[in-house]
């Protein structure tokens, strides 16, 4: 009976950060909120670390370290974009712990962000996650706190 609870799928999807989870339409940027790049969600961060939500290959790390692209073995493409207009900071406040082509496991540290140093310089520090490969995303408990690597935060459908 208890064995069913211990069979968690390690290839599932977990929260990339700690904070308050929001629906994508709450993001303070039309490109994201109108799902122009794809469906997803955002997290108003409460900690500085951004982790890999899945086992994947790092497709790219933007040169300013504010955005990371991941690709899973089953073809999901995920964009993790930290903040709105953060590209204008030219890397200030961002530290990358990965490089293009690197394999990452769920829970591996991708980025560290000094949110205190950038929060007054950009419209938003939300950690925005977009499924650019076409998955639909439903946030299970919008506007609630999530922990980094928490399971069952969203439901995905193709």
Q: Which residues are catalytic?
A: 81
* 148, 63 contact by CB (below 8 A): no
* Residue found under tokens 């939500």: 53
Query: For the chain, how far is it from start to end, CA to CA, in angstroms?
Result: 31
**What is the DSSP-derived secondary structure letter of residue 74?**
T
- Which contiguous run of DSSP H or E holds residue 30? helix 30-33
């Amino acid at each position: 009976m208890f064995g069913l609870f211990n069979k968690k799928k390690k290839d599932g999807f977990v929260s990339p950060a700690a904070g308050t989870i929001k629906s994508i339409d709450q993001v303070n940027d039309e490109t994201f909120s109108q799902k122009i790049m794809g469906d997803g969600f955002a997290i108003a961060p409460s900690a500085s670390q951004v982790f890999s939500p899945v086992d994947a290959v790092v497709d790219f790390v933007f040169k300013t370290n504010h955005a990371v692209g991941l690709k899973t073995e089953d073809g999901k493409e995920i964009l993790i974009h930290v903040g709105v207009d953060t590209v204008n900071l030219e890397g200030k406040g961002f530290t990358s712990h990965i490089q293009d082509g690197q394999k990452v496991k769920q829970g591996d540290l991708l980025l560290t962000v000094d949110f205190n140093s950038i929060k007054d310089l950009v419209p938003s520090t939300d950690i925005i996650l977009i499924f650019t490969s076409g998955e639909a995303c439903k946030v299970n408990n919008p506007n609630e706190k999530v922990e980094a690597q928490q399971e069952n935060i969203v439901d995905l459908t193709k």
